């Protein structure tokens, strides 16, 4: 049976206290292969840097690995943080990915750097990259560079210099704009591109962003109608109690981030349950719990269907944030796998 609404996955490749980076990546490979078997729609990797609990630093590398280990699921970035990269490099990487996995590559682009100012400067050491203020220009550059005709640079001498991301493209990846404010919604509408609001990170302004995108949308040659879906954090288990326990490590980690405390690898569920109460974090955790999907299978399916109906979408991308118990293997994430299996089953049941 079909999954309704369609279900996709956002992966930050979480690293917990009992894992190496290799174990975390191996767990994500297993999760992506499961998503492919479950016939989910797409599997995206985020870009973050210098975070002890996040190993998704290089989306193109991870995308290539997953595309080679799956058969049908779309694979992409959620997203590449454009201020960190030269547009030509991004275009070349994703043109190569499209050649490796034709018709299965999504290029999601974000305007934020995805890290702190120190890391942003280190990423730029090798030369100038995209400036945040020139984000619209660089998105347009990538679109041109990826097209079969490529782009043309006019040199100071007046000579035209042709540039292509790949010499003989037969297809291009689908470009999505990502954001958590009005800015990217308006730009996506202006350029006639698909758009995703980062609801998993910040639910504030969701309704306004979607309204702006839909009402101001200008059809493009490749996208005649606006296209969007939502992201949401989810922990799903056979019981609500287990779902809450498995969500606790990620809830505590996000609270530390918002309280500007030093970050560290993700706790196991056992460590999170044994940790002393933190009055400063309690309010933040309670607010996040209300926005996240933390439920058993039927409850989670009902929440996702209601979310899709409320915002007029037919696809939901979940960030499966279920943590692991200490006894579970370090090269797998049974809680995240369980979240996808239960959701796919419940959303297929009608």
Each domain of the chain, given as residue ranges in start order, spans: 6-348
User: pTM for this one?
Assistant: 0.93
| pLDDT greater than 70 at residue 336 | yes
Q: What average pLDDT does the segment 32-55 reach?
A: 96
Q: What average pLDDT does the segment 10-16 reach?
A: 97
Q: What average pLDDT does the segment 321-337 reach?
A: 97
CATH 3.20.20.30 describes domain 6-348: yes
- Select, from the ranges 46-50, 113-117, 256-260, 325-329, the one with the highest average predicted confidence (pLDDT): 325-329
The pLDDT > 70 percentage for the chain reads 95
Give me the pLDDT at residue 152, please: 84
**Full 3-state SS string of 296-349:** CHHHHHHHHHHHHHHHCCCEEEEEECCCCCCCCCCCCCHHHHHHHHHHHHHHHC
Higher-confidence residue: 153 or 42?
42
The pLDDT > 90 percentage for the chain reads 76
Give me the pLDDT at residue 200, please: 81
How crowded is the C-beta side of 17, counted as CA atoms within 13 Å? 17
Mean pLDDT, the chain, integer: 92
Q: What average pLDDT does the segment 243-266 reach?
A: 95
Give me the pLDDT at residue 227, please: 97
| 201 pLDDT tier (thresholds 50, 70, 90) | confident
Higher-confidence residue: 299 or 50?
299
Residue with tokens 């090269």: 331
Crossing angle for the helix pair 21-37 and 334-348, nearest 10 degrees? Answer: 10
Beta carbons within 10 angstroms of residue 326's beta carbon: 13
Give me the pLDDT at residue 203, please: 65
CB 132 within 8 A of CB 83: yes
| pLDDT greater than 80 at residue 42 | yes
Give me the pLDDT at residue 114, please: 63
Q: What average pLDDT does the segment 318-339 reach?
A: 97
Per-residue pLDDT tens for 83-117?
888 899 999 999 999 999 999 999 999 987 666 77
Give me the pLDDT at residue 109, please: 96
Name, in order, each residue with C-beta under 8 angstroms of 202's C-beta and a sequence gap of 6 or more.
180
Q: What average pLDDT does the segment 107-128 reach?
A: 72
Name, in order, each residue with C-beta under 8 angstroms of 17's C-beta and a sequence gap of 6 or more.
264, 265, 266, 267, 268, 271
| pLDDT greater than 60 at residue 59 | yes
Residue with tokens 């209300």: 290
């Amino acid at each position: 049976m079909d999954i309704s609404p369609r279900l996709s996955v956002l992966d930050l490749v979480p690293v917990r206290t009992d894992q190496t980076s290799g174990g975390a990546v191996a767990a994500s490979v297993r999760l992506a292969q499961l998503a492919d078997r479950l016939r989910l729609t797409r599997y995206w990797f985020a870009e973050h840097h210098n975070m002890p609990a996040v190993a998704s630093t290089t989306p193109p590398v991870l995308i290539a690995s997953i595309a080679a280990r799956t058969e049908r699921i779309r694979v992409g970035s959620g997203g590449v943080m454009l201020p960190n990269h030269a547009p030509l490099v991004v275009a070349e990487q994703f043109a190569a990915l499209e050649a490796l996995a034709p018709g299965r590559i999504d290029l999601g682009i974000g305007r934020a750097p995805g890290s702190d100012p120190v890391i942003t400067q280190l990423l730029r050491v090798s030369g100038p990259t995209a400036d945040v203020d020139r984000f619209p220009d660089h998105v347009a550059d990538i679109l041109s560079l990826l097209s079969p005709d490529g782009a043309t640079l006019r040199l100071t001498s007046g000579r035209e210099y042709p540039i292509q991301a790949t010499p003989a493209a037969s297809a291009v990846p689908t470009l999505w704009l990502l954001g958590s404010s009005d800015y990217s919604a308006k730009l996506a509408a202006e350029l006639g591109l698909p758009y995703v609001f980062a609801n998993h990170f910040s639910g504030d302004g969701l309704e306004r962003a979607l309204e702006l995108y839909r009402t101001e949308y200008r059809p493009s040659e490749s996208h005649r109608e606006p296209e969007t879906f939502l992201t949401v954090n989810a922990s799903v288990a056979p019981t609500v109690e287990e779902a809450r326990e498995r969500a606790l490590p990620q809830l505590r980690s996000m609270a530390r981030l918002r309280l500007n405390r030093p970050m560290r690898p993700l706790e196991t569920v056992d460590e999170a349950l044994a940790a002393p109460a933190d009055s400063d974090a309690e309010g933040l955790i309670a607010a996040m719990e209300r926005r996240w999907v933390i439920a058993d299978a039927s409850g989670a399916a009902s929440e996702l269907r209601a979310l899709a109906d409320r915002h007029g979408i037919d696809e939901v991308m979940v960030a499966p944030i279920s943590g692991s118990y200490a006894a579970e293997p370090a090269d797998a994430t049974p809680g995240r796998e369980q979240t996808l299996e239960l959701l796919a089953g419940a959303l297929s049941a009608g």
